[in-house]
Amino acid sequence: MNTLFREIFKSDIEHTYKAPARINLIGEHIDYNGGKVFPCAIDKYITAYVSTRKDKELHLFSKGKDLKVHSLDNLDFDEKMRWEKYPLGAFYILSKKGYKFPFGLNIYYESEIPVGSGLSSSAALLDLTVFLISDIYKFNLDRKEITLIAKAVENDYLHLKSGIMDQAIIALGEKDSGMLLDCNLFTYTYHDVNLGNYEFVVLKSNKPRSLVESKYNERVEECEKALSTLKKVYKIDKLVDLSVDQLNNAKVILYDDVLYRRVKHVVTEVDRVNRFLLALDEGNILELGKILDESHLSLKDDYEVTGFHLDSLFQACKDSGAIGARMTGAGFGGCAIALIEKEYFPKFKKRVTTRYLELTGLKPDVFEIKIVNGVSKIN
């Protein structure tokens, strides 16, 4: 790598960092509604190789992309920006908070996280960049601050109405543990994910999607609209504050079937998170599988964020012997997870690949995962 780095930047690598991908085990599309989610960081990484510069320029490179050169004195958003808008946004938000950059950087990004897959490559890129900036410029940001700055880039620089889940788990993830994250209070606890003879596997649909171009923001806006109406009747601050009993009256109050179904998903998904944690503590594998299935069907029928390919992937998992399965991430393409017996993986992979190909004409990528720590520096 150093030889390639030297060819591009005419300098040697001085620092190396990596950030993991993430999957969300349960609690989908409730992060921006103030709910509790249960993600974990997984062993697919974006790596950054860095050297310092004597001028105040940023030279950014990623395999298969053109070298991007920007001045640290002009970080304003430009519609012509492509992938580089994520690292540039990190510098921009930090500059607006008063942080100074006395010198520039050369950064080579190398990723094994598929873009548009639902494994949160964008949040990994943001956390990674904020983390390396903090380290190199000696800003001493803690991991919660890194999370909030990365979220601010998505919200205020890229104008994506994302929640805090992705940035939080990639910054704060712990090996072999899922994070029960309260997205409203930004508090969290870790829970061991030890399933004995069972495991979660990830399936990439190979139907890419872009959050910014999808209906992600539309779902956020629908939830905001529903909340505004429901607050006139109930004393709630977030949609997740609505109880199952109150949900029964929400359809009449909202007088809109689409908004009601969005609310229904949020309220029932909150319940599924609680049941999932209980089943995990009890080692109840069949219940975990049942909850995964329920979540996918709710995301399909009530939240309408799955689509043909993810629904086909879900069906292929069930037809191939998965105990449970569901889409993970924002939807509109991307990835799913399945719960299976470990020793069954080779057979499952073969069967689900064949079945998904029959349904869609596409081959999925199917792989086992390890749960890992969050963003880090490589010595």
pLDDT tens-digit map of 15-54: 999 999 999 999 999 998 989 999 999 999 999 999 999 9
- Residues 222, 226, 227, 232, Cα dihedral to 10°: 150
Inside any domain, residue 178:
yes
Inside any domain, residue 22:
yes
**250, two tokens:** 């929400």
Confirm if 35 and 163 have CB atoms less than 8 A apart. Answer: no
Out of 239-243, 251-255, 298-302, the most confident range is 298-302
Quick one: which of 126, 53, 116, 45 has its CA closest to 92?
126
Q: What is the pLDDT of residue 217?
A: 83
Percent of the chain with pLDDT over 70: 98
Q: 30: domain CATH number?
A: 3.30.230.10
Inside any domain, residue 180:
yes
Contacts of 157 (CB under 8 A, 6+ apart): 77, 85, 89, 92, 93
Q: What is the pLDDT of residue 2?
A: 85
pLDDT category, 210, cuts 50, 70, 90? Answer: low
- Residue 82 or residue 292, greater confidence: 292
Inside any domain, residue 153:
yes
Q: Is the pLDDT of residue 124 over 70?
A: yes
Q: What is the pLDDT of residue 118?
A: 75
Model-level pTM?
0.93
Percent of the chain with pLDDT over 90: 85
Quote the CA–CA distance of 169 and 171 in Å, as a whole number. 5
pLDDT category, 215, cuts 50, 70, 90? Answer: confident
Inside any domain, residue 212:
no
Inside any domain, residue 117:
yes
Total domains in the chain come to 1
Q: Is the pLDDT of residue 313 over 90?
A: yes
pLDDT tens digits, 317-334: 999 999 999 999 888 888
pLDDT tens digits, 169-206: 999 999 999 999 999 899 999 999 999 999 999 999 99
Q: What is the pLDDT of residue 161?
A: 78
Q: What is the pLDDT of residue 212?
A: 44
Inside any domain, residue 13:
yes
Q: Is the pLDDT of residue 265 over 70?
A: yes
Q: What is the pLDDT of residue 329?
A: 87
Average pLDDT over residues 302-316: 96
pLDDT tens digits, 132-159: 999 999 999 999 999 999 999 999 999 8
Quote the CA–CA distance of 61 and 337 in Å, as a whole number. 31
User: Active-site residue 301, yes or no?
Assistant: no
Average pLDDT over residues 359-378: 97
Q: What is the pLDDT of residue 5?
A: 95
Q: Across the chain, what does the average pLDDT equal? A: 94
Exposure letters 194-223 (e unless 16+ CB within 10 A, then b): ebeebbbbbbbbbbebebeebbbeebbebb
pLDDT tens digits, 221-247: 999 999 999 999 999 999 999 998 899
pLDDT tens digits, 77-100: 888 888 999 999 999 999 999 999
Inside any domain, residue 124:
yes
Range of the structural domain that residue 8 is part of: 2-192
Q: What is the pLDDT of residue 211?
A: 53
Q: What is the pLDDT of residue 374?
A: 98
CA 128 to chain CA centroid, nearest Å: 14
pLDDT category, 336, cuts 50, 70, 90? Answer: very high
* Active-site residue, selected from the candidate residues 127, 166, 241, 311: 166
